Amino acid sequence: MKILVLGGTAWLGGKITTAALRLGHDVTALARGESGPVPDGAVFRRADRDLPDAYAAVGRQSWDAVVDVSSQPGQVRRAAEALAGCADRYIFVSSCSVYAGHDVPGADESAPLLPALNADVMASMETYGEAKAACEQHVLDAFGPGRAIIARAGLIAGPGDVSDRTGYWPLRFARPAAPDDSVLVPDAPELATQVIDVRDLAAWLVGAAERKASGTFNAVGEPMMLSAHLELARQAAGHTGPVVSVAPQRLADAGVNYWSGERSLPLWLPLPEYSGFASRDNRAAVAAGLKLRPLAETLADVLDWEQAAGPDRERKAGLTAQEERELLAAL
């Protein structure tokens, strides 16, 4: 197959390119080339997707599939319109953030969506869900539902996750901040987690192109309670010290943030408004060929990557060691 990856140099795009090359496909990556090297074996076309002539060269070729991971509606609209006449199908990696609500466990792809962003540019992450909803609509307008795959990904995990949301816990258990090796965790027995390994997502997207699939799918992993997820992270790290569970209200009162960013506990979310955020129905994607590796394998591989990448690098999520020591002393 001839596959055009719009991007192909950053984390997910690179994994998609690598997966397609491994299966013997002819892959071209169209990107600015600023997010990393193009995997060996792929053809690189340098282009800025914000410019009107970005698709001039690739638009004169025929493609079995186009894969797009952008969050900018204008980029996706221009690409879909430019390539509709030369590509068999368009695979768009969207997000479960397009859903209007996250309080219903087990919700499927028919759940209500946020209104599409009425702009070409997502000015901030505050409108990420609306921007992805607009991108979906642009793809469907240009290719129609029979020639499009909309993959609504959940939290993507695995080696290379610089968001630090999936690597924080195995690394913290491997390197406790407290002198007695204690690790602080949220006491949230009713909170679920749901991650998909980046390698599984990439393999499924390439397979969907091979099978000429179409449709909208929740591309998510299997739901698992946060406590079970943390226990697997602890096992991956070989941690044997105390685990200190702190009530959500006490964490919030102490200024600990949800999910990501500074002074946060990754994967932790408020209930009940997020009781369905990490427990969406993935049966359609599984029926369409999605294969999921055990979470224990993903966490072990993430820990290996974290340790090789440099555990002391500046991080985008989690508590610093000093913050955790102070919280353990205070709480």
293-310, pLDDT tens digit by residue?
A: 999 999 999 999 999 999
Judgement on whether residues 89 and 183 belong to the same structural domain of the protein: no
Residue 95 resides in a domain: yes
Domain boundary residue among 93, 128, 153? 153
Judgement on whether residues 303 and 184 belong to the same structural domain of the protein: yes
pTM (two decimals):
0.95
**Closest residue by Cα to residue 168 from 318, 2, 17, 295:** 318
Residue 286 resides in a domain: no
Residue 111 resides in a domain: yes
Judgement on whether residues 106 and 66 belong to the same structural domain of the protein: yes
Residue 31 resides in a domain: yes
What is the domain-level CATH number for residue 23?
A: 3.40.50.720
Residue 234, both tokens: 């602890």
Judgement on whether residues 25 and 105 belong to the same structural domain of the protein: yes
What is the domain-level CATH number for residue 189?
A: 3.90.25
**pLDDT value for 52:** 85
Residue 216 resides in a domain: no
Judgement on whether residues 250 and 317 belong to the same structural domain of the protein: yes
Contact 317, 168 (CB under 8 A): yes
Residue 309 resides in a domain: yes
Judgement on whether residues 79 and 186 belong to the same structural domain of the protein: no
Judgement on whether residues 96 and 32 belong to the same structural domain of the protein: yes
| 8-state DSSP, 67 | E
Torsion of the alpha carbons at 141, 114, 11 and 316, rounded to the nearest 10: 160
| Host H or E run for residue 172 | helix 168-174
Non-local (6+) Cβ contacts of 287 within 8 A are: none
pLDDT digits (tens, 9 = 90+) for 50-100: 998 999 989 999 999 999 999 999 999 999 999 999 999 999 999 999 999
Integer Cα distance of 174 and 37 in angstroms: 30
Q: Cis peptide leading into 311, omega within 30 of 0? A: no
pLDDT digits (tens, 9 = 90+) for 258-289: 999 999 999 999 999 999 999 999 999 999 99
Judgement on whether residues 64 and 86 belong to the same structural domain of the protein: yes
Judgement on whether residues 142 and 168 belong to the same structural domain of the protein: no
Domain that holds residue 242: 159-194+223-275+294-330
Conformation bin of residue 241: beta by default, left when phi > 0, alpha when psi is -120 to 50? beta
